[in-house]
Amino acid sequence: MRGAVIHAPGDIRFETLDDPRLLHPTDAIIRTAVTCVCGSDLWPYRGAEPIGDPHPMGHEYVGFVEEVGSEVTSVRPGQFVVGSFATSDNTCANCRNGFQSNCLHREFMSTCQADHVRIPNAQGTLVATEEHPAEELWPSLLAVSDVMGTGWWAADAAQVRPGSTAVVVGDGAVGLCAVIAAKELGAERIIAMSRHASRQRLAREFGATDIVTERGDEGVARIRELTGGIGADSVLECVGTAEAMRQALHCARPGGNVGFVGVPHDVAVDGQELFFSHVGLRGGPAPVRRYLPDLIDRVLDGRIDPGKVFDLTLPLDQVAEGYRAMDERRAIKALLTP
Amino acid sequence: MRGAVIHAPGDIRFETLDDPRLLHPTDAIIRTAVTCVCGSDLWPYRGAEPIGDPHPMGHEYVGFVEEVGSEVTSVRPGQFVVGSFATSDNTCANCRNGFQSNCLHREFMSTCQADHVRIPNAQGTLVATEEHPAEELWPSLLAVSDVMGTGWWAADAAQVRPGSTAVVVGDGAVGLCAVIAAKELGAERIIAMSRHASRQRLAREFGATDIVTERGDEGVARIRELTGGIGADSVLECVGTAEAMRQALHCARPGGNVGFVGVPHDVAVDGQELFFSHVGLRGGPAPVRRYLPDLIDRVLDGRIDPGKVFDLTLPLDQVAEGYRAMDERRAIKALLTP
């Protein structure tokens, strides 16, 4: 098989690799339908995370089952499946509590920018569609496996309720999907913080009612102006930097909620400040598996179209260009077709 | 009138002071029925918070209304009233959202260890009982004005649900009241972390099903043993130190909740650790006013008896001995009778 391998910051190569094979009776092998580059892939690409030895990349996938281990009965060869970037047995205590991305047998996917992928914990991880979905739906189903699931989690963690006001910090693919989620969950007012015209347009198309271009303290002041002086009920932090977290916490009203879904880098929250704000804070890797059946239905019913976040499509062998385009912010998110 | 004044760490004096008078039409003056010393009063007493000029102390009170300003119609002279350590107009946006302790007109009480007290925002702050309650109920009604309200908030912020497992960190008066709250909210298992025999006894009497005497990592390990290896659904952090917060966060299961109600001192929460834990975190000064009508009913009906946290009763003029006894942990909480 062939897939992407990172060798050093800025150095992504498309290489021939050993074909994946079943290592455990709980594994499945899929043939990738489409895959993509994630904003979080840019951390090592930019040298902001250690890389170590060269290794495959990618954690988003939809595809066709080719082979299943002896203990996998929930999906069968030939089916179209959607999974999550975090695999889960879906039976342990954490899974039963709805936090499948903290499954006691969790393995994070990391080899998905390839034409074939081994899926651990396949029984609990993969959800098959009843029929093969039309190819134009593949991008949206792919989005569900990570960015849409993560945007949903941001809205869930930030306790978006019907009639409430939601602020989305971050206009990357996750932030844009978070706008979709806030709308689906009934937010009346959705304020997207974005300074890029193309992303603002997509945010509006997805349901944003207001755009705030200011950042930092100016952005916070603008949010307060828009929310009767007290701040928003829910803030969806979709970046992961200290500045974004600070902005998110200051945009929430007393007793409001911040959901934070970008992996935090050098973020520390001051206990006393959090205390006097009354703001509730919850984050983490999205429990995508919890949302998969519902989100797949929403895509198949045409209610949501998160695949629009892919504004660049490349053949898989041009994966390196996908990284470059996202790094240079020429693309929101790059779709890769094997 | 006469009341307690702090001059320096360890130096509490009972002094003659100017009689309180109505400063605003929203004020009321009460004659104190009973008041007390709070764990948080020990921070300046121990020199852990700056004191500045000598000033009165105390923020817990129940009493009889003596005089009301022209805009106060909800209570009248002669009535027995319970309030909160944080005053609130109960009409602003934050109050309407249930966060009265973040009222836009909030004033923290600070002169209550005295025989008379001026109450700002009296209309929104004070709740009168229908009749004068029996004197033996005064300590429990006093507890409602702060420690019981704060324990309730800890359980609320930690999202204690019927059938859940709750851990209480801290065996001071607030921690013990948090045990009461967890029980009233239906927790099936309530684990109190305490190493003091008298406090353990009271925790059990209030509803604790288990006692854990270990602290720090050993305490966390013991909690995990007791909770199927994953941690507790809810953790009620009732101390405010970095060590207590760390312990609380590590005792919660993935996706569980920590409610933190002790004013944090030198507490910083690592963003990445919080992220991967999936734990929800909310704290703050308790919105006691939200809970007052319900908690007063629970006391008057005899369902709860938080007044048992007072294990030392002194005449108000011996307030300095109350501080000493609590500082030396000879007393959980000192009741003061004018």
Q: Which residues of A touch B229 (CB under 8 A)?
A: 93
* pLDDT < 50: residue spans in chain B: none
Q: Which residue of B has its CA nearest to A277?
A: B284
Q: Are B168 and B182 a contacting pair, CB within 8 Å? A: yes
Quick check: B275 and A255 CB within 8 A?
A: no
* pLDDT < 50: residue spans in chain A: none
CA distance A249 to A279: 7
Q: What ipTM does this complex have?
A: 0.96
CA distances for B236 relative to A103, A318, B177, angstroms = 24, 52, 11
Task: State the smallest CA–CA distance between residue A301 and chain B in angstroms.
Answer: 30
Q: Which residues of A touch B249 (CB under 8 A)?
A: none
Q: Are B279 and B258 a contacting pair, CB within 8 Å? A: yes
Query: B2-146+287-337 domain in CATH 3.40.710.10?
Result: no
Residues 6+ apart with CB under 8 A from A269: A245, A249, A281, B268, B269, B271, B274
A268 exposed, middle or buried (CB, 10 Å; 0-12, 13-18, 19+)?
middle
Q: Which residue of A has its CA nearest to B279?
A: A282
CA distance B238 to B256: 17
Superfamily of domain A148-283: NAD(P)-binding Rossmann-like Domain (3.40.50.720)
A281 touches B: beta carbon within 8 Å:
yes
Q: Provide the Cα torsion B105, B110, B114, B119; round to 10°.
A: 0
* Confidence (pLDDT) at B23: 97
Q: What is the DSSP string of A229-252?
A: TT-EEEEEE-S-BHHHHHHHHHHE
Quick check: B268 and A268 CB within 8 A?
A: yes
Q: Which residue of A has its CA nearest to B159?
A: A280
CA distance B227 to B233: 9
Quick check: A263 and B272 CB within 8 A?
A: yes
* Residue extents of the structural domains in chain B: 2-146+287-337, 151-283
* Confidence (pLDDT) at A155: 98
Task: State the smallest CA–CA distance between residue A207 and chain B in angstroms.
Answer: 25
* Mode of pairing for the β-strands spanning B189-193 and B210-212: parallel
CA distance A126 to A72: 10
Residues 6+ apart with CB under 8 A from A90: A100, A103, A121, A123, A124, A125, A289
CB atoms closer than 10 angstroms to residue B217: 11
CA distance A29 to A22: 7
Q: Are B285 and B147 a contacting pair, CB within 8 Å? A: no
pLDDT tens digits, B270-324: 999 999 999 999 999 999 999 999 999 999 999 999 999 999 999 999 999 999 9
Query: B151-283 domain in CATH 3.30.750.200?
Result: no
* Confidence (pLDDT) at B148: 98
* Confidence (pLDDT) at A196: 93
Task: Tell me the two tokens of residue B41.
Answer: 């009063």
The shortest CB-CB distance from A274 to any of B104, B272, B283 is to: B283
Q: Tell me B135's DSSP state.
A: G
3-state SS class at A60: coil
Q: Are B14 and B3 a contacting pair, CB within 8 Å? A: yes
CA distance B14 to B316: 8
B122 exposed, middle or buried (CB, 10 Å; 0-12, 13-18, 19+)?
buried
Quick check: A254 and B280 CB within 8 A?
A: no
A163 touches B: beta carbon within 8 Å:
no
Q: Are A291 and A184 a contacting pair, CB within 8 Å? A: no
* Confidence (pLDDT) at A291: 98
Report which of A312, A306, A334, A264 is spatially closest to residue A145, judged by C-alpha positions. A306
Q: Evaluate the CA torsion angle A183, A187, A192, A197 in order and state its sign.
A: positive
Q: Which residue of B has its CA nearest to A253?
A: B94
Task: State the smallest CA–CA distance between residue A262 and chain B in angstroms.
Answer: 9
The shortest CB-CB distance from B255 to any of A97, A263, A275 is to: A97
Amino acid at B209: T
Q: Which residues of A touch B157 (CB under 8 A)?
A: 280
Q: Which residues of A touch B255 (CB under 8 A)?
A: 94, 97-99, 102, 287
A98 touches B: beta carbon within 8 Å:
yes
Helix boundaries (H) for chain A: 42-45, 93-96, 122-125, 138-144, 147-157, 173-184, 197-206, 216-226, 242-251, 271-277, 288-300, 319-327
* Confidence (pLDDT) at B52: 93
Residues in chain B: 338
Q: Which residues of A touch B282 (CB under 8 A)?
A: 278-281
3-state SS class at A295: helix
Quick check: B255 and A98 CB within 8 A?
A: yes
List all residues of chain B from 225 to 244 with a beta carbon under 8 Å from chain A.
228-230, 242
Task: State the smallest CA–CA distance between residue A123 and chain B in angstroms.
Answer: 22
A101 touches B: beta carbon within 8 Å:
yes
Task: State the smallest CA–CA distance between residue A97 and chain B in angstroms.
Answer: 8
Quick check: A276 and B270 CB within 8 A?
A: no
Bridge partners for A29 per DSSP:
A67, A118
